[in-house]
Structures are given as C-alpha cells and as structure tokens.
Amino acid sequence: MADVPVLLSGIRRVLFSQKKDRESILFSIQSSIFNFRMHHFHYIKDELYCEDVPVTTVAEKVGTPFYLYSHATLMQHFKAFDGAFSGMKHLTCFSMKSNSNMAILRLFSSLGGGVDIVSGGELYRALKAGVEPVKIVYSGVGKGVADLEYALRSGILMFNAESAQEILKLNEVAERIGKRARVAIRVNPDVDPKTHPYISTGLKENKFGIDIDEALEQYSVAASLNGLHVAGVSCHIGSQLTEVSPFLDALRKLMRLIGRLREMGISIGYLDLGGGLGITYDREDPPHPEEYARAIQSELGTSDLTLILEPGRVIVGNAGVLVTRVLYTKPTKEKMFFVVDAAMNDLMRPSLYNSYHAIQPVKVSGREKVMADIVGPICESGDFLAKGREVERFDPGDLMSVMSAGAYGFSMSSTYNSRPKICEVMVKGDRFYIIRERERFEDLIRGEAIPDFLKEGQEARQGGLG
Ligand SMILES: Cc1ncc(COP(=O)(O)O)c(C=O)c1O
C-alpha cells in the first residue's frame, strides 16, 4: 500500500525547495501525497503489481507488448480533478485524444464527465461509449463539413471555432440542416506555457485559435449569423504545464475579453479553459489539481460563468503502463542495447518529443545496473523507449514496464512496419479485463484491394486506368 520512502522524499523535496510560504508548502505536501498515491502500480516482494494483479499474470494471458491500466487510479484521478472544482459551476470534459478507449470513456462518463473531441471519429467513439452529447465540446483547426454536420445533428454542447472561415462554414451547415450551433471562439491568448514546443498551442506563432486581438470582430460576425448561438469563450494553451501562472495569464486575458463582449451585448455562458495540467514523469513537480482549481477560482471570483475543463494527461497519464518483453541484449563497444518487443509505433512519445518514461523491471532481480538504450524492432534509429538509462541488467525474456504511458500512448500508436496494434487491459481489484484485443495480421490488410489488372497478368496491366 503506502510507499513511505516516496512520501518522505516528496516532503524532503518540499522542505528543501525554494517555496517558502506556508500556502505553497501546504500545496506541495498535498501534491507529494497526490503523487505518492498517484497510481496503483507497486511492488510486492520484488514483483510489480497493478492493484492486486501481478503484471506477469496478465503477460502470460495476453502476450506482450500490452497497455495496462488501473481502474482505481483512473477513478481516483478523475475524482481528484473534478472534485477540485466542486465549488464552481463546471463540467469536466476529458480530452479523449489522450486515451480514447471506450471502456475508459464509459468510466469517466459514469462519473459525470463529458469529453473534448477533435474529430468525427472521436465523436463516434464517445457516443458509442455512452457519453451524453450535451457534455461534448468540439475543438480543432480543421473540422470538415461532414464532421460539423455529424456533431450538429448529434446535439453536442459547443463548437470551439478556430478560424473566421470555420465560423462561416459552421453557420452555413447549421442553416442548411435547420439547426443552431452553440459556438465559442477558441482564442489564442499569446501566452507562453513553458512546455515542449510541439505541445505549446497558445502562442501567436501556433496554428490554433483566433488571435485575441481579432476575437471581438469575429464575435460580432458570429453573433450576427442566424445559424449560430454565441455561447462561450475557449482556449487551450498547451500540454504538460508544470506551473499555474500561464493558465492564470490566459484566464485574465479571457476575462477581459468576456467583459468587452458583455459591453457589446454578447452574453457568454461558458468559459472553456482547455486542458494542459502536467504530471510527474521524472522529477517534474506540477501543481496539484486542488492548487490549480483554487488559483482559477480566486481569479474568477463570483462569476456566473460555467467553467469547462478539458484535462487529458493529468487523469490518465500515470494510470497506465506499457509492458514489454526483452527480445535480445546487445552489448556493443559503445553501449548496451536492450531490444524489446514494443516500439515507437506502440509508444511514440520518446521518439517524437524525446520524452522521459521511467523503466521498471516487472521482477526485481537485484542484478547490477547498466547504462543502456531500450530500443524496439522498428527500422529507424529514432525507435527507442529510453536512451542512456541506468537500468537493471535485463536478460532476454524479462518483462519491463514503461511507466506513465496512459496518456498519448495507445491513442498515438500506429501500425508502422506493419506491426499490429497491441492490446489494452484494465485491472480492477484482483481481476483484469481485455478492453481492446490485440490486432491480427488480417486487420493490417483490412480494406486494401488489389485491382484486377494487377491480378490478371501482363495484358491487363498494359491497359492502364482508362
Ligand atoms: C483543445 C485541447 N484540449 C485539451 C487537451 C488536453 O491536454 P492535456 O492532455 O495536456 O490535458 C488538448 C491537448 O493537446 C487540446 O488540444
């Protein structure tokens, strides 16, 4: 249960940190406790468990590699986040791009959550999982006509429009099918989220949202259109933020905008602050959701706005791991390579962002430590899960767990190198459930076709398309 050394090290970190005032010490201790209880992956007698299930047991049943999620952790994180806003009128719309498995969507929806979507495919999944349409918000810079129509007909809560042309297109679609679309403008507030450039979204140079300086003009347009009902203001400044201040900078700008809109007679009911709260992958010390919520509340004061939050990573990131098996160990003159059966197509984050995921043995052997690269079977030098990492000297056949892989793990996976997508498993207590089957080779070629002229030999081949 309790991992006392982790708690103590968290408290030690707080006491020796720069933060000296009582409030921030209190929050940091809370945050350590949150981190300390942040997931239900733990060792019993040197063996890694997810809740009450040994990880080895799951590997024996489903093979490797696979994603493994803890139901208790998912619940705990959703409740911790949503509960932090309980003093405010709010809706937590889980950002399903971080993890779109239907079982996970159903779980959050059963806890009262909605979702933030960015495509027609995500809408389809959400509806199939049982998410209520009136709890769905739709962001994204490139919403196509078919997807706009699908979302309108489904009766979603709100479209977060990201360009002047999208506002007009949404109006056109709504008028054509005799509906009125509730719309917010996703504003680009030009705030630096101080995170990886690929996941910064609220700077002027980013493609997202409408420049805050042009927002008033676009709101006037939207308010004049018969197919639209202006309902809110939204923004999302980036992901994996480890400080509260950028959120507050953005919020202040949005509140000023809402004030101006009200003066113009445009009333705003929803304030969508997006997602972005970070997690601990390595040594990061992000704010606890309580601290984040309290800071927002004090900025908002006694506002009558309904707050929408779009958290993704903070809820699922530390609730899932990727389990993989060592295929080969490969010592070279330069370094040691552990070649495992998971690859960049299964977990893209290390290759894409050079991001850190802790590597833990599923059975602690007590062998000496070595510096190694953990690499996959894909034909790219960029195919790695960890680089220059001090890990146990693994042997072929050993299982390892790539930690904090619940967000942007499976959802970003592909079949590159014709590797079937891997399976996903959820543990609840002492039982586990396959929530997505491992794909088979047949799934790889589903939908592909060889035209007759290629089947029929030389003569047909010369006939061409015409
Ligand atoms: C519009 C929007 N909302 C919410 C999120 C979720 O961010 P996070 O997983 O960091 O909470 C994203 C992620 O990129 C996003 O683009």
Q: Any idea what the CATH number is for the domain that residue 434 is in?
A: 2.40.37.10
Q: Is residue 41 part of a domain?
A: no
Ligand 1, residues 242, 310, 353: which to mutate, most atoms within 8 A of Cβ?
Answer: 310
Is residue 200 domain-shared with residue 269, that is, in the same domain?
Answer: yes
379-395 mean pLDDT? 96
Tens of pLDDT along 287-316?
A: 999 999 999 999 999 889 999 999 999 999
CA distance 198 to 72: 31
Q: Position 313: which residue type?
A: R
C-alpha 347 – ligand 1 centre gap (Å): 18
Strand segments (E) across 141-280: 158-161, 181-188, 210-211, 228-234, 270-272
User: Could you list the residue range(s) of the whole structural domain that residue 285 is in?
Assistant: 72-317
Q: For strand 384-392 and strand 369-375, is the pairing parallel, antiparallel, or unpaired?
A: antiparallel
* Local structure of residue 200 (DSSP, 8 states): B
Q: How far is the CA of 312 from the centre of ligand 1 (A)?
A: 6
Q: Which of 317, 339, 360 is the last residue of a domain?
A: 317
* Least confident stretch, 35-49, 57-71, 90-104, 162-176: 35-49
Cβ distance 147 to 119 under 8 Å?
A: yes
Q: Establish if 18 belongs to a structural domain.
A: no
Same domain membership, residue 342 and residue 255: no
List active site positions: 379
Shared domain check, 245 and 158: yes
The closest-lying atom of ligand 1 relative to the alpha carbon of residue 312 is 9
Q: Per-residue pLDDT tens for 243-278?
A: 999 999 999 999 999 999 999 999 999 999 999 999
User: Is there a single domain that holds both residue 132 and residue 86?
Assistant: yes
Task: Tell me if 162 CB under 6 Å of ligand 1.
Answer: no
Q: Whose structure tokens read 């639209």?
A: 228
460 inside domain: no
Residue 350 has pLDDT above 90, yes or no: yes
For 76, 172, 209, 360, 410, the CA distances from 226, given in Å and listed in that order, are 43, 9, 22, 57, 41
Residue type, 27: F
* 464 assigned to some structural domain: no
Pocket test for ligand 1, best of 91, 97, 240, 412 (most atoms within 8 A of CB): 97
- Mean pLDDT confidence for 154-176: 97
Is the separation of the CB atoms in 316 and 103 below 8 Å? Answer: no
CA–CA separation, 145 vs 162, rounded Å?
14
Report the alpha-carbon distance of residue 256 to residue 205 in Å, rounded: 22
Considering the domain architecture, whether residues 279 and 360 belong to the same structural domain is answered as no
Q: State yes or no: pLDDT of 460 exceeds 60.
A: no
Percent of all residues in the chain with a pLDDT value above 70, rounded to a whole number:
88
Q: CA-CA distance, 253 to 135, in Å (whole number)?
A: 25
Cα radius of gyration (the chain): 24
Q: Residues 288, 424: one domain?
A: no
Residues 6+ apart with CB under 8 A from 273: 234, 235, 236, 247, 250, 251, 254, 296, 307, 308, 309, 310
Q: Does any domain span residue 422?
A: yes
For residue 297, the tally of other CB atoms under 10 A from its CB is 17
Higher pLDDT, 465 or 451: 451
- Going from the C-alpha of 111 to that of each of 114, 132, 452, the distances in angstroms are 9, 12, 52
Q: How many domains does the chain have?
A: 2
Whether the CB of 98 sits within 6 Å of ligand 1: yes
Which pLDDT score, from 0 to 100, does residue 207 have? 80
Predicted pLDDT at 28: 46
d(CA 97, CA 267): 30
Query: Model's pTM, two decimal places?
Result: 0.90
Q: Are residues 281 and 374 in the same domain?
A: no
Each residue's pLDDT tens digit, 4-28? 434 544 444 444 343 434 444 454 4
Distance separating alpha carbons of residues 58 and 56, to the nearest angstrom: 5
Cα 96 to averaged position of ligand 1 atoms, centre (Å): 9
Q: What is the pLDDT of residues 195-229, one digit of tens each?
A: 776 666 666 777 888 888 899 999 999 999 999 99
Q: In angstroms, rounded to a whole number, what is the distance separating the alpha carbons of residues 384 and 402?
A: 12
- Rounded Cα–Cα distance for residues 26 and 291 (Å): 10
CB atoms under 10 Å from CB of 319, counted, come to: 30
Helix, strand, or coil (residue 41)? strand
On whether both 122 and 230 belong to a single domain, the answer is yes
Q: Judge whether 235 lies within some domain.
A: yes
For residue 83, the one-letter residue type is G
Mean pLDDT of 396-401: 98
Top mutation candidate among 236, 277, 292, 353 for ligand 1, by most atoms within 8 Å of CB: 236
- The CA–CA distances, whole Å, from 234 to 136, 213, 250, 349 equal 14, 14, 10, 27
CATH number of the domain to which 305 belongs: 3.20.20.10
Q: Is 275 a domain residue?
A: yes
Residue pLDDT, tens place only, 66-91: 999 999 999 999 999 999 999 999 99
- Choosing from 317, 334, 367, the residue where a domain stops is 317
Q: Which ligand 1 atom is at minimum distance from the Cα of 160? A: 1
d(CA 313, CA 68): 16
Do 169 and 302 lie in a common domain? yes
Whether 275 lines ligand 1, by a CB cut-off of 6 Å, is yes
Whether residues 329 and 268 fall in one domain = no
DSSP 447: T
Residue type, 117: I
Average pLDDT, the chain: 90
Q: How far is the CA of 95 from the centre of ligand 1 (A)?
A: 6
The per-residue pLDDT for 203 is 67
Same domain, residue pair 306 and 391: no
pLDDT of residue 257: 96
Q: How far, in Å, is the centroid of ligand 1 from the Cα of 329?
A: 37
The 10s digit of each residue's pLDDT in 92-145 is 999 999 999 999 999 999 999 999 999 999 999 999 999 999 999 999 999 999
What atom in ligand 1 is closest to the CA of residue 139? 1
CA distance 290 to 116: 21
Is 352 part of a structural domain of the chain? yes
- Same domain? For 76 and 127 the reply is yes
The finding on whether 95 has its CB within 6 A of some atom of ligand 1 is: yes
Q: Which of 301, 317, 333 is the C-terminal boundary of a domain? A: 317
E strands, 364-407, in order: 369-375, 384-392, 399-402
Of 351, 302, 295, 343, whose CA–CA distance to 322 is shortest? 343
Please work out whether the CB of residue 116 comes within 6 Å of at least one atom of ligand 1: yes
Atom of ligand 1 nearest to the CA of 313: 9
